[in-house]
Every structure is written in structure tokens, then in C-alpha cells.
Amino acid sequence: MIIALSGPSGIGKGFIKEQLLQVYPFIEELIWLTTRPFRPNEQHSNRIHVSLPIFNQCVESGELVLTQKIYGHHYGLKEDLLPSSRVRLTELHPDNLEKAFKINPTILAIGFVTFDFALLHKRLSILRNTESVAEIEQRIAVAKIEIETILRQRSLFASVIEVSEASESSVFDQDSMLNCEWGNETPWREWQDHGVSQVKNTGCSIVISLSGRDLDSCCNLIRSFDKLGIDAYEINIFCSHSGVLHGNLNVDAFHLQQLMKKVHGVTTTPIWIKLSYSNLLVQMAREAENLGADAIVCTNSIGPGMLIDTKTAKPKLGIKGGGGGVTGRAIFPIALWCVHQLSQALTIPIVGCGGISTADHVIQMLMAGASAVQLYTAPALKGPVVFKRITNSLQNFFAKQTEYASVTDLIGLIANKAREHVFSSPLPVVIEEKCTGCGVCTYACAFDALELIHRPGKNALAVITDNCNSCNACVGVCPPKFNAIEESF
């Protein structure tokens, strides 16, 4: 199968391609020859840069399946487009689609269009800082023609995606959630009769998550699921929205005592107690350990939180009062702190959760003292592909960091490294070959410690001045695509 991405410059084809290749290692990129000069920071492994005479020789010899000319530069596809069992990926100019479909009618084409040309201009200005204003304006003009071509050939595409400010925030930036769950749309017997067996068939362990608010209902569910051979029960004693309505059980030691007494009366299966951030977190976790809990899961959602629809002046959540739990990346630093504090106080394992969405988050949780991690918001917003992305990135991490044999080597590494103040560090470093001169770092610096140096025939270069106090804000705002500024810890 061949997947072809088609759309104007700056619309996001490259980002989508990078994500697909990262998550699905079996996908192969088709190889293109091009006469376009190599760009600074370019990492395309699928483009072979050649001179015009060599390109013309390849055309004359019939080596190139498709050719296209973009902004004065020639491109030629060096591989065949015939159907095969391999999954191959390429970017394809809209003008070449009909010819490509004549060679292979099974191509899966995905088109990208926008009617927000101010957004396109912004993207090109930031990500293509190698080009002048006039060149960017030329790309915008060409983009309008390419979008018209895609819309005219809509029948050739499996999907045409419109990119806008709204889609950008909901697809690429939305990584947190305000939510409330009022009941469960799937009856618990559905999980008993089908869900558990589906997980068992994969060979994975089964941990059932239950509410610990109603003690009798919790015990009845445990009796039913115990017949199926469950590996552990996670019992949640906190809920951001219902805590307001039914009492904040997250800090109710008496309720925890009654819960553990009843649960241990009906099962010998390991019990994990799920807590959320509070001023009494460590005390509650110690109490759970003393009462026989086998692990602590932390942190559940934090809240209640609230959002208001400014068009209607009503809460965005329909629950009475409008309060819900905040989850996702926004709470990750708090969750990490909770795990670190618990690791210093407990002897039982900790399952870290709250805002985990990347392999780096997983590694941080382990280093803070977690023995395992739990994800919800990231896969809920972006699908199960998140798990593949994280496991692939973890494999890459261990391949490079050979001092660690497995995840167990990471657990609790920070334990003795956060006990003293460290208020100074070496200055961050600008990596010249990666810097595009986009200027984002200069806007973020509150100390005028960064300036752009304009160089004839080259990109502008960000330079760190003597005003720098090593706050490392510039490291955080440098676009991840470039990673042109590194801390020197």
C-alpha cells in the first residue's frame, strides 16, 4: 500500500509524516531525487540532493517514475508506485495525483487544505526562517492554486483535512481535559462477561478499577470479578466532581479504614488504593499501607476545576455546579511531585499517573519513584497510537542510554538528588547548525539575554549575552522540531 500526503508548503505534511514513521517503524519512505539545495537543519533521509545535469541524466535514462517542478527546483521519484505488500509513504504534489493513480489506483491519498492563509503565513515564517518575505508570499500564492487543485480532485482522496486555528488547537495542542463521569455507559456485567476475557486473551495482567465510595457495591463487584482470576483491584476513593456532593473521601481516614476492613473480608487479591493530590496525601497513603494496601496509585484527577462558555455564560460541564476533574499534561508536574513525596514515605510500590503523554514523562515518573505508570487522557484524546509511540521512544532511550539495562534501573534515581538547593547552572548553549534564527527565544527571554545576529548568506543566529542567568526559558520555547538550544546541567 502507498500512502500519499498532498498539500501546500507549511500545512503540516512533514509533521504528520514524522509521526507516522515514528509510530509505525515498518512504514518505508519513497526516495526522491531533487535539485533543491540542502536546507539547514534538514533531516530528510528520503531526499537525494543532486545537480541538474545528473537529474536530467536520470530523466533521460527512465529512472524516475514521476517528476515535478516546485519553486524552480526539480523533484523525481526514484521508486516504483506499483502495488505491493509493503507499506510506503510519500508526499505528492497535487498536479501529480492523476498520473500516480494511473500507475496504481490503490494509492491512499490524504489531502490537506486551509482557508486561513494568515495561519499558513505564520507557520511558514516560523518554520521556514530561511526564506524572505517575498518568497513566503510566493508560497502563499502557490498554496491557493494547490488547494484549488486538491478540491477539484476531491474524488481521488480518501480524506481531505481542513487545517485551521481551531484544528491546530484541538489536534496538536489539546493535551488536557476537564471532565466528569456520571455513571458508566457500559454495564459492569459487560466487563465481566466480555472485557476481562478479551484482556486475558492478550496474555496481559488484569487490574480492575472500582469506586470505593459505596462500600457494599465495591465488595459485591469484587466478589463477582474474583471468580474470573483478577490480578489486582484499583480502588479509587476520590472524585473531583462527586467529592463536592458526597464528601471528600480523599482525606477521610475513617472511610479508608472501613473500606480496607470490608474489602479484606471478601478477597485476598492485591488492593491498590488510588489517591489524588491533597495536603494529607502522604498521611492517607501511609494509612493505606498500614491497613494492608499493596500499592498506591497517584494522582487521580485534580479539582474540581471549571470552564465557562463565554457565549452562553454557562459552565461548559453539565453537572450541577459545573465542576469537574482536571487531567492531562497540565497536572503532570503536580503528579510527579506527589509520586516523589510518596516514594520517600512508603515501602509499597507506587503507580504514577496524571498527565503522562510521552516516553520522557514515563522516565521522569520512574525516576521519581514509581514502579509502574498509568495513562488515560493522552490516549483518550489521541487514540491508542500513544502507547506505540511511547514504547518505541522508550526502546530508543534504552538503546542510547546503555547504562540502564531496564526500566527497573530508573526507579527512584532522584531520591538523593533533590535534597539541597541548586540555584546556579552553566549557561544554555545554542547549537549553531540547528538554529534557524526564528527569534522565538528572543521574545521569551525576560532578561534581554538573547539577540539575533544577522549573517550574510546564512540564517540569523541566536546568541546568548552576558545578561543570561541560566533560567533556561529559551530551552523550553525553542520549537521541538529544531531543539537548537540545550541546557548545560
Residue 403 — φ and ψ, nearest 5°?
-70, -15
Beta-ladder partners of 77 = 32
Catalytic residues: 239
Rounded Cα gap, residues 8 and 95, in angstroms: 12
Q: Which amino acid is at 393?
A: S
Nearest to 448 by CA among 474, 420, 468: 468
- Of 357, 354, 351, nearest to 385 (Cα)? 357
Backbone angles phi, psi at 71, to 5 degrees: 50, 40
Which residue blocks in 265-317 are alpha helix, DSSP H?
Answer: 281-290
314: closest CA among 326, 322, 323? 322
Which grid coordinates are listed for 450? 538573547
Q: Comparing C-alpha atoms, which of 203, 256, 211, 261 is closest to residue 233? A: 211
Question: How many CB atoms sit inside 10 A of residue 280's CB?
Answer: 14
Cell readout for 55 is 537529474
Contact criterion met (CB below 8 Å) for 407 and 397? no
- How far is 68 from 73, CA to CA, in rounded Å? 8
CB-based contact 89:25 (threshold 8 Å): no
Rounded CA gap, 23 and 403, in Å? Answer: 25
